[in-house]
Amino acid sequence: MLNDQLVSYSGVQPSGNLTIGNYLGAIKNFSLYSEKYKTFYCVVDEHAITVRQVPAELRRRTYETLALYIACGLDPEKNTLYVQSHVHEHAELAWILNCFTMFGELSRMTQFKDKSSKHSDNINAGLFTYPALMAADILLYQTDVVPVGIDQKQHVELCRDIAERFNQIHPDTFTVPDPIINKSGMKIMSLADPTKKMSKSDENTNAVVYILDDKDTIIRKFKRAVTDSDTCVSFAEGKDGINNLMTIYSCFTGKTMEEIEKEFEGHGYGDFKLAVGEACAAALAPVQQKYKEILADKSYLEAQMKKGAEEASYYARRTLGKVQKKLGFVKL
């Protein structure tokens, strides 16, 4: 808690085109938190380099991710929006927290195992220890809540363990954060393989709907979505493809599963897939328009980066200074 105000923190990597999974599971709901919390939203470019990046693309995507934040409803006057590498305290606290994070804990992280199998030629130390950097991101701001997708819950649980371990040795240093998992759209699945999460790094672009896809592309991808041999639009066990499409439709329209089943009673999968595509495209259209306007004004984006970094640094310095003092570091 900062200045008697609850704190919410979240971050998104600029490592690829953001998907409707990122939008529905996280970004779409971010703006709701600014009414209740002091909110920090970070473009986590330091996390992105655990896998090899093309420098020009990383720079471009950093601007694009910040523009998307704002286009999706994050008002820079109500939220602290900034780029991770602009606040050096993240990296400094990460090293300290590495020394309070156990090797066995990092070995059990699901995402390390997944990324190691996908990038077997580059299993670097950063890929292994990045949960400590994620913990630093969160703990720097004395964060109370972390809105995350269900696949990131393990990272917040580790962050809690690290904070509690540090606090046992050096009491009253960190606020121990709680994860908040949005129940609707908490995990959007691949259109090509609905047993797997939709991923922006999927090589099959037809499996993924990106926030910036145009209407024709969105509808084409939904028309090709994998379903099953049944024809009834109903949410049931064993109907992973339709369940996923119903979840997406529910997120974009606000309708319950029962309402969706009633709406498409007597209609086949073709009609339903088209409706999902139309609802998705209609919801994303104003976001895309605003995004184009914002991205065209580079000076505006850089001004927001600077403003956000200054705000974030103010709070980050306070926490890092407190930690360094407790550890016995000499301050000049």
Catalytic residues: 115, 197, 200
308 strand-pairing partners? none
Q: How many CA atoms lie within 13 A of 103 on its CB side?
A: 1
14 contacts 64 by C-beta, under 8 angstroms: yes
Cα 326–Cα 331–Cα 332 angle in degrees, nearest 5: 170
* Contacts for 259 with CB less than 8 Å, ≥ 6 apart: none
181 strand-pairing partners? 148
Task: State the amino acid at position 241 in one-letter form.
Answer: G
Which residue, among 41, 27, 36, has the nearest Cα to 73 in the 3D structure? 27
Which pair of tokens denotes residue 216? 């024709």
Question: Phi and psi of 80, rounded to 5°?
Answer: -90, 110
In order of 69, 225, 229, the CA distances from 79 in angstroms are 10, 36, 47
Cα 69–Cα 70–Cα 71 angle in degrees, nearest 5: 95
* Contacts for 172 with CB less than 8 Å, ≥ 6 apart: none
214 contacts 159 by C-beta, under 8 angstroms: no
- Only one residue has tokens 């602290």, namely 80
Q: Decide: residue 244, CB within 10 A, 0-12 exposed, 13-18 middle, 19+ buried.
A: buried
- Rounded Cα distance between 314 and 130, Å, is 24
Question: Phi and psi of 75, rounded to 5°?
Answer: -75, 120
- Rounded Cα distance between 203 and 217, Å, is 16
